[in-house]
Amino acid sequence: MSSYHLFPIASAIIKRWSNEAQEAVNAKAVSSMSYTASAAAAYISGGGSNGYQSASTSSYIMQYHALGLLYLMREKDRMAITKMVQQFGAGKSANVIRNPMAICMLIRFARKVMDEDPK
């Protein structure tokens, strides 16, 4: 999140992080967060794990933030945005966007590309 705020001031530094942002979008949810996630779940649920939603479903928020940062880095390059929409919108097993907010953001990017280019 701090990279969003830092981007207008030091965009060259943030653009160096594009590989990390790309990896965050492509990363599968980490289910090895079991110790901290289960401890937090036990605390919230009063010691039991009844009704606990797994940590893997909640860790996809990184895709949303990383996708937004990638767009911020590439917003001046229409071809790069088009390629990003095609890459993540294809539904390949390696590039599946699982966060619903990230999917909505990807749809907004696709709509913007379609509005700018009538072809």
Q: What is the mean pLDDT of residues 2-16?
A: 89
CB burial class (10 A; 0-12, 13-18, 19+) of residue 14? Answer: buried
Domain residue limits, the chain:
2-29+59-116
Q: pLDDT tens for residues 29-88?
A: 554 344 444 444 444 445 544 444 444 445 588 899 999 999 999 999 989 999 999 888
Confidence band for 94, pLDDT divided at 50, 70 and 90: low
Q: Which residue has tokens 């599968």?
A: 28
The model carries a pTM of 0.69
Q: Is the dihedral of CA 19, 22, 28, 34 positive or negative?
A: positive
Q: What is the pLDDT of residue 93?
A: 52
